[in-house]
Amino acid sequence: MGRRVYTPSRVPSVSSLQQPGEESRVSSMLPPITQSVMESMSQVYDTSVQRSLKKMCHHSFVITDPHLHGHPIVYASDAFLHMSGYTAEEVLGRNPKFLQGPDTDRQAVFQVRDAIHEARPCNLVLLNYTKQGWPYQIVLHMAPVFSQSDDRLLHFVGAQVPLVACCCSLGKRTVQSAPFLLGSQSDTWLLLGRKFSSCSGSTTLTSHLPSSKMTLCQTGSCTGLQKKKKLKVAQSVLQLVVYELNRANELKWAAALHSRYLSENADTALCSSLTLALQRIQQSFVICNPRLPGIPVVYASDMFVHLTGYQKDEVMGCNCRFLQGQNTDALVVQQITDSVKEEKACTVRILNYRKNGQPFWNLLHVAPVRDHTAKTAYFVGVQWELSSEFLQTGNIMPVMGQLGAVGAIKVAFRSLQSQGLCRYGRP
| pLDDT tens-digit profile, the chain (427 residues) | 444 443 333 434 333 444 444 444 445 556 677 888 988 998 889 888 899 899 999 999 999 999 999 999 999 999 999 999 999 999 999 999 999 999 999 999 999 999 999 999 998 889 999 999 999 989 899 999 998 777 889 999 999 998 764 433 333 333 333 333 333 333 333 333 343 333 333 333 334 444 444 434 433 444 556 556 666 788 889 889 998 998 888 877 776 665 555 545 544 456 667 778 888 888 999 999 888 878 889 899 999 999 999 998 888 888 888 899 888 998 999 999 999 999 999 999 999 999 999 999 999 999 999 887 888 989 999 999 987 666 555 555 677 778 888 888 888 777 766 544 444 444 4
Amino acid of residue 9: S
Q: What pLDDT was estimated at residue 262?
A: 53
Amino acid of residue 226: Q
The three-state secondary structure class of 380 is strand
| Common-topology check for domains 14-253 and 266-423 | yes
Q: What pLDDT was estimated at residue 46?
A: 86
- Which CATH fold topology does 266-423 show? Beta-Lactamase (3.30.450)
CA 241-244-245 angle, to 5 degrees, is 85
Phi, psi of 63 (to 5 degrees): -120, 130
- Which CATH fold topology does 14-253 show? Beta-Lactamase (3.30.450)
The C-alpha atoms of residue 253 and residue 259 are separated, in whole angstroms, by 10
Phi, psi of 188 (to 5 degrees): -115, 130
pTM summary value = 0.50
Q: What is the distance, to the nearest Å, from the Cα of residue 344 to the centroid of all Cα atoms in its chain?
A: 27
Beta bridge partners of 162: 138
Residues 6+ away with beta carbon under 8 Å from 303? 282, 283, 284, 285
Report the first-to-last Cα separation within the chain, whole angstroms.
Answer: 53
Domain boundaries of the chain, sorted by first residue: 14-253, 266-423
CB 63 within 8 A of CB 241: yes
Q: What pLDDT was estimated at residue 313?
A: 84
The C-alpha atoms of residue 173 and residue 167 are separated, in whole angstroms, by 11
